[in-house]
């Protein structure tokens, strides 16, 4: 894409920003996994980590790798943190309790919670379950 557009490739991949964001949006609209493109500087693991964290924050669920040295960095960037896992499990528990008494929205740790945030929490737990099942 970069070559076809006549753009110059950069370490930050800013020239692919629109394409990456559009891709993740389209994947999510159709319920598909959004796997980010490769990071070509195989020796720059810090740059890879930054791009993975950026992609994860946009909704990407993984990243292609071109060298075994990239695997650990990519996996750690896309796995939910212990804090995120605890947040997701606690939110799901609270949601069930509030749903029992007929509340659709409630406050959790200072934030208003409704069904979309419950779905986000459920996705965190599902991802963790998939990872755990693939390792057993």
H-helix or E-strand spanning residue 108: strand 106-108
**114: annotated active-site residue:** yes
- Catalytically annotated residue among 41, 83, 114, 129: 114
H-helix or E-strand spanning residue 111: strand 111-113
Cβ neighbours of residue 37 under 8 Å, at least 6 residues apart?
16, 20, 63, 64
Q: What are phi and psi of 40, to 5 degrees?
A: -85, -15
Query: 């695997």: which residue's tokens?
Result: 71
The angle subtended at Cα 66 by Cα 61 and Cα 69, nearest 5°, is 90
Q: Which residues are identified as catalytic? A: 114
């Amino acid at each position: 894409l970069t070559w076809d557009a006549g753009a110059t490739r950069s370490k930050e991949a800013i020239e692919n920003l629109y394409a990456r964001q559009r891709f993740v949006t389209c994947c999510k609209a159709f319920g598909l996994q959004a796997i980010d493109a490769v990071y070509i500087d195989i020796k720059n693991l810090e740059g890879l980590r930054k791009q993975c964290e950026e992609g994860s924050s946009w909704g990407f669920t993984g990243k292609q790798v071109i060298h075994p040295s990239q695997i650990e960095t990519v996996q750690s960037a896309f796995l939910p943190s212990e804090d995120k896992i605890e947040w997701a499990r606690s939110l799901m528990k609270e949601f069930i309790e509030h749903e029992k008494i007929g509340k659709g929205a409630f406050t959790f740790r200072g934030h208003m919670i409704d069904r979309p945030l419950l779905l986000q929490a459920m996705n965190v737990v599902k991802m963790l379950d998939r990872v755990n099942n693939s390792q057993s």
